[in-house]
A and B are shown apart, each in its own frame.
Chain A
Amino acid sequence: MKALFLGNVAVDTYEGVKGELPPALDCIILNDPIDRARLPAAAADASILVSNRWLPDFPPAPRLRLVQSVATGVELFDLASLPKGCAICNAFGHETAIAEYIVMTWLALNHRLPEISGEFRTRGSWRTSWVQSGAPHGEVRGTTLGIVGYGRVGREVARRAAPFGCRILAANRSPRDAEPGVERVYPLADLDAMLPECDTIALCTALGPETTGLIDARRLSLMKPTAFLINIARGQVIDEEPLFAALRDGTIGGAALDVWWQYPTPADPERRGSRHPFHELPNVIVTPHNSGWTGGMIRRRWDEIVDNLGRFVRGDRLINLVTTV
């Protein structure tokens, strides 16, 4: 049975897990997905594709029965050019890392960590310390955390946040039961009722028609003037311009942004993530879409891929099935 590992992420995956793959697999490794010399033959024979993409102009792959994405998003797989009956599966493993990032930035925004540690290191300033009667900073105890998107990531956030003694609210598109520690799960349509309650909003939704532009100027104005916004979902869940204005003008308290409205290109590898200079605002923690980029995430994702390839070879039920063509 032939398995095609296509593209650099799939090749890295193969290198990481080759000792754990079912012996029955005959693996074809193609680093360059536009290797027109080798791709047609590989595609013609493969039963399994491990990759992050399958584009409309790729050669026919009539024998494919399993497409195993190396990531969670499967938007780069052109379903129309895959054979009927082919299963599309994705991989997770990032939710732990992202939940840690959300709790980390929730704490860092409240405790003003970047500002305090930055000026202490560079200038030796004790301004914020009790020894110089500095103004106290915040803590998360007793505050309200609102989780928008109560899925895999959102639930992991709530489990970690609960022992901090905060109130936890959530909003989700489809109805979900609240786990212990979560006071209430609002329907996403009732988000306007949840926002004014929250001291911090963490966006953990997928990007879709219901969530594109979800946090617009009107909803930003429903937030407390001291509220923090954390976005690990997708840039487009927030309207870029009103968020910049709200942070610049202090109509919300601050933000931690890991996902962006624009990304680097080969021609512009240090392209800024927005048309607006969020990186110049002192109340914003900016990170380069790396909240899930941990060694643990890669290992868990590999484990899921190895598990699924084994299931396919044995004819067992697949995990992480997104759809069947």
Chain B
Amino acid sequence: MKVSFVGNFGARPEVAKAIIEKVTETIEPTILFDIGDGQRLIPALADAEIVVSHIWKADFPPAPRLKFLQSPAAGLDLIDLPSLPRGVTVCNVDGHEQAIAEYVLMTMLAMSHKLVDIATAFRDRGSWTGGGAGGGPLHGEILGKTVGIVGYGKIGREVATRAAAFGCPVIAANRSPVADKGAASEIYPLGELDRMLPRCDFVVIAAGLGPETRNLIDGRRLALMKPTALLINIGRAPIVDEEALYAALRDNRIGGAAIDVWWRYPTPAEPNARPANLAFHELPNVLMTPHCSSATDGARARRLGGIAVNIDRFVRGEALRNAVLTT
């Protein structure tokens, strides 16, 4: 069985090699990091029955034998579905949802307890302000705070389970109806998000990027949030209107934000690219991380193990896990 690992995610050594080591059935792997290398991309796709890639462009060469496209990522927003051959099953991965849920709880706590400000002032200047010994302002806690999760999928459900243990009421909004509410008390249709937002102390963006979610959190919806509310985005940056969010944070019309996904990403020419067009890094009420909420050792092992299992299943003719659609 010919399997091609393609692109700057699936063909990375720590991804492709780790998957190949875990596959138990016999496969013939091809690894191609640079999808701009047309001479090598043509044969890599011409023969492959399985492709592991997070990206598929409209101008990719033909892949007539392709039956199974396995993304090493959760989001399929870089896969141009219309240009895939007919009958291809597209799978994504899981195993990152626990890591991201940990990140969400961590940032909820860190923003409420003002961890970064207090720890930095104490480290840099020896300031006891904010502590019992030095008097000063009290900080917050998350007990009793309402968590609103936008996109109640695997990640959202893992967040809900953990937040409930802290005494947080959990509500959620989801595009499609949800049969099992899990730890959430109420699920809004995404179309009624406007009714959910004013209730939330935390708004957690855990949705995928698609036509219904692009620019979902715009200036009008930010204005529906409490002035103290904290926004956490681990979904995709374009779900939130960049200029509107920047203005809301700068003018303190919402309490703050923890942002892990960005409007701009580094390039080989600009490896330390600022992650936005506006200076979010200068705002004191922003906790920012470089798209690493899922980059844990455990998530990596679960994801790569899951891909290897899926390849074995396909070779044996068994049902695939995490199948999102068939073209």
Asked if A116 and B290 make an inter-chain contact with CB atoms under 8 angstroms apart, the answer reads yes
- For chain A, the bracket of interface size reads 35 or more
Asked if B118 and A108 make an inter-chain contact with CB atoms under 8 angstroms apart, the answer reads no
Asked if B126 and A131 make an inter-chain contact with CB atoms under 8 angstroms apart, the answer reads no
Of B200-208, B266-274, B317-325, which stretch is located at the interface? Answer: B266-274
A137 with B122, Cβ < 8 A, contacts A104-B106, A160-B166, A290-B131 known: no
Report the minimum CB–CB distance from A108 to chain B (whole Å).
6
A113 to B289, CA, bound (A): 8
Of B20-28, B95-103, B237-245, B249-257, which stretch is located at the interface? Answer: B95-103
Asked if B131 and A141 make an inter-chain contact with CB atoms under 8 angstroms apart, the answer reads no
CB contact list, B4-20 vs A, under 8 A? 9, 12, 14
CB contact list, B67-104 vs A, under 8 A? 98-99, 102-103
Instruction: Annotate A116-133 by CB proximity to B: 1 below 8 A, 0 otherwise.
Output: 110011111111111111
CB contact list, B99-157 vs A, under 8 A? 99, 102-103, 105-107, 109-110, 112-113, 115-116, 118-119, 122-134, 138-144
Asked if B297 and A100 make an inter-chain contact with CB atoms under 8 angstroms apart, the answer reads no
A295 to B136, CA, bound (A): 12
Asked if B292 and A128 make an inter-chain contact with CB atoms under 8 angstroms apart, the answer reads yes
Residue in contact with B288 in the complex, picked from A120, A137, A289, CB distance below 8 Å: A120
Residue in contact with A288 in the complex, picked from B14, B128, B299, CB distance below 8 Å: B128
Q: Does B213 contact A (CB under 8 A)?
A: no
Asked if A134 and B122 make an inter-chain contact with CB atoms under 8 angstroms apart, the answer reads no
Which of the listed residues A104, A134, A272, A289 has the most CB atoms from chain B within 10 Å of its own CB? A104
CB contact list, A24-44 vs B, under 8 A? none
Residue in contact with A96 in the complex, picked from B143, B265, B289, B299, CB distance below 8 Å: B143
Contacts of A285 in B (CB 8 A): 115, 119
Asked if B272 and A125 make an inter-chain contact with CB atoms under 8 angstroms apart, the answer reads yes
Asked if B128 and A264 make an inter-chain contact with CB atoms under 8 angstroms apart, the answer reads yes
Report the minimum CB–CB distance from A191 to chain B (whole Å).
26
Q: Does B298 contact A (CB under 8 A)?
A: yes
A289 with B133, Cβ < 8 A, contacts A113-B289, A128-B292, A131-B266 known: yes
Q: Does A261 contact B (CB under 8 A)?
A: no
Report the minimum CB–CB distance from A96 to chain B (whole Å).
5
Q: Does B162 contact A (CB under 8 A)?
A: yes
A159 to B167, CA, bound (A): 10
CB contact list, A79-132 vs B, under 8 A? 96-97, 100-101, 103-105, 107-108, 110-111, 113-114, 116-117, 120-132
25 A/B residue pairs, CB under 8 Å, sorted by A: A96-B143, A100-B112, A103-B109, A111-B102, A117-B287, A120-B288, A129-B290, A134-B292, A137-B292, A137-B296, A138-B296, A139-B98, A141-B99, A141-B298, A162-B165, A163-B164, A269-B128, A285-B115, A285-B119, A288-B129, A289-B131, A290-B130, A293-B130, A295-B138, A297-B138
Q: Which residues of B contact A (CB under 8 A)?
A: 9, 12, 14, 98-99, 102-103, 105-107, 109-110, 112-113, 115-116, 118-119, 122-134, 138-144, 161-162, 164-167, 265-266, 271-275, 281, 287-292, 294-300
Q: Which residues of A contact B (CB under 8 A)?
A: 96-97, 100-101, 103-105, 107-108, 110-111, 113-114, 116-117, 120-134, 136-142, 159-160, 162-165, 263-264, 269-272, 279, 285-290, 292-298
| Supplied contacts A289-B128, A290-B118, 9 more A-B pairs, CB within 8 Å | A103-B166, A139-B98, A140-B102, A163-B164, A269-B134, A288-B131, A294-B138, A295-B138, A298-B138
